[in-house]
Amino acid sequence: MLEEVLAGLRAKPKRLSPTWFYDELGSFLFDAICDTPEYYVTRVELDIMREFGPDIARCIGANAALIEYGSGASLKTRLLLDCLDTPAVYMPVDIARGHLLDAAGALARDYPALRIQPLCQDFTKLFSLPKTVESAERRVIYFPGATIGNFEPEKACALLTGMRSLIGKDGALLIGVDLRKDPWTLERAYNDSGGVTAEFNLNALRHVNRELGTNFALDSFEHRACWVEAESRVEMNLVSLRKQRVHVGNEQIEFQAGEPLRTECCHKYTIDGFAGLAAHAGLVVQDVWLDEEEQFSVQWLSPRTLQ
C-alpha cells in the first residue's frame, strides 16, 4: 500500500487511488452523495430500473445466474430481482466483506427462495466462478452505478474483456454508463452545495493518514472537481492551499501552493463512444435504456459471435 501511494505521489501530476475514499466513513459519505439533489447519477439510474425492469428481465430470461460487480448495498438489484423469472443464483461480488455480508443477509431475508452466493473479491482482478454459477443456463454480469467511468478507457476495456470471458458465449452484461451532458450539470454533481463530495474527497487523506501514518493536514487541501472536455471526464482533485511537505514512509513529499493531487476521474460517454469501447472488448451493444432527459444509460451487451 505504501509503495503504491508513494508511486502516485512521485508522479506528475500527483495521484492517489480512489479506493482510498472508501472506509466506513467514506462508504457513508458516498451514500450521502447519492442523496444530494445535485448528484443525478443514482436517482436517474433508479428511475430507469423502475421503468424498464420488466423489459430488462425479459432480456435476462429465466434461470440465469446474476453476478453483480461492486454490489455494495445491492439496492438497484432489488428492483431487478423483483422482475426476474426464477434466477438460478445471485452472486454479489465486493471487496468490502462487512458490507457484502450485511447486504447478502438482508437480501436472504427478503428473498427466501433466492440462492445467494456472495464472493469477497476485488473484481478488477481475475477470479473464477463457483460451480453453481458456472452451470447455470446463462451467466449475466450486472455492473450498475457508472463505476465503469472511474476507469481509464484502456483499463475499462480490459475489465470488459475479463467480463466477456466470465460470461461465456451465451452470457450477457447489464451495465450502467453515465452520459456526456452539459458541463454545468456535471460540475454541480461533483460539487454539491452541502459539501458532501468535498468531505468524501478529503476522506481519502484521512484514510491514508490512519493506515500509513502519513501527516496530511486536511485543512491544507481543498476539493476541486472540473469537467475536462478533451478527456470527456470530470477530474476530482485535492488542491494544496500552501507550500507544504508531507511525510510518507521515509520520504518527504513536497506540494507547491495550488498544486493538485488527482484522486478520481469520472469518464462520461456518448452512446456511440461506449459502443466503440465495448467493440474493442469483443462485446456488442444490443439494447440501451435511457431516462427522458438522456442523462444516463443502462446497456445490454453480448459477446460478439464469430461468423
Ramachandran category for residue 142: left, alpha or beta (phi over 0 → left; psi -120 to 50 → alpha):
beta
Minimum CB separation of residue 187 from ligand AVI in Å reads 12
Q: Round to whole Å and give the CA distance between 35 and 37.
A: 6
Residues 199-258 contacting ligand AVI, CB under 6 A: none
Minimum CB separation of residue 185 from ligand AVI in Å reads 13
Residues 149-168 contacting ligand AVI, CB under 6 A: 149-150
Q: Round to whole Å and give the CA distance between 167 and 59.
A: 15
Which of 44, 49, 238, 266 contacts ligand AVI by CB under 6 A? 266
Which of 29, 41, 93, 160 contacts ligand AVI by CB under 6 A? 41
Residue 74 is a binding residue for ligand AVI (CB under 6 A)? no
Minimum CB separation of residue 290 from ligand AVI in Å reads 18
Which of 27, 197, 299, 302 contacts ligand AVI by CB under 6 A? 197
- Judged by beta carbon, residue 178 or residue 259, the one nearer ligand AVI is 178
Task: Tell which residue, 135, 147, 138, has the closest CA to residue 172.
Answer: 138
Which string of b and e fits 27-38 if b means at least 16 CB within 10 Å? bebbebbbebeb
- Judged by beta carbon, residue 264 or residue 291, the one nearer ligand AVI is 264
Residues in the chain: 307
Which of 49, 56, 136, 146 contacts ligand AVI by CB under 6 A? 146
Minimum CB separation of residue 145 from ligand AVI in Å reads 5
Tell me the helix, strand and coil percentages in the chain, rounded to 5.
40, 25, 30
- Judged by beta carbon, residue 136 or residue 189, the one nearer ligand AVI is 189
Burial degree of 175 (CB within 10 A; 0-12, 13-18, 19+): buried
Which of 74, 147, 203, 299 contacts ligand AVI by CB under 6 A? 147
Minimum CB separation of residue 45 from ligand AVI in Å reads 10
The cell for 268 is 462520461
Q: Round to whole Å and give the CA distance between 123 and 141.
A: 11
Task: Tell which residue, 143, 174, 168, has the closest CA to residue 59.
Answer: 174
CA diameter of the chain: 60
Q: H helices then E strands: how many in the chain?
A: 10, 13
- The count of residues interacting with ligand AVI (CB under 6 A) is 11
Taking CB under 6 A as the binding criterion, the range among 49-57, 135-143, 146-154, 207-215 that sits at the site for ligand AVI is: 146-154
Residue 303 is a binding residue for ligand AVI (CB under 6 A)? no
- Judged by beta carbon, residue 147 or residue 237, the one nearer ligand AVI is 147
- DSSP summary character for residue 179: B
- Judged by beta carbon, residue 65 or residue 265, the one nearer ligand AVI is 265
Task: Tell which residue, 15, 3, 23, has the closest CA to residue 203.
Answer: 23
Contact 73, 31 (CB under 8 A): yes
Residue 264 is a binding residue for ligand AVI (CB under 6 A)? yes
- Judged by beta carbon, residue 47 or residue 82, the one nearer ligand AVI is 47
- Judged by beta carbon, residue 92 or residue 149, the one nearer ligand AVI is 149
User: Which positions touch ligand AVI (CB under 6 A)?
Assistant: 33, 41, 145-147, 149-150, 190, 197, 264, 266
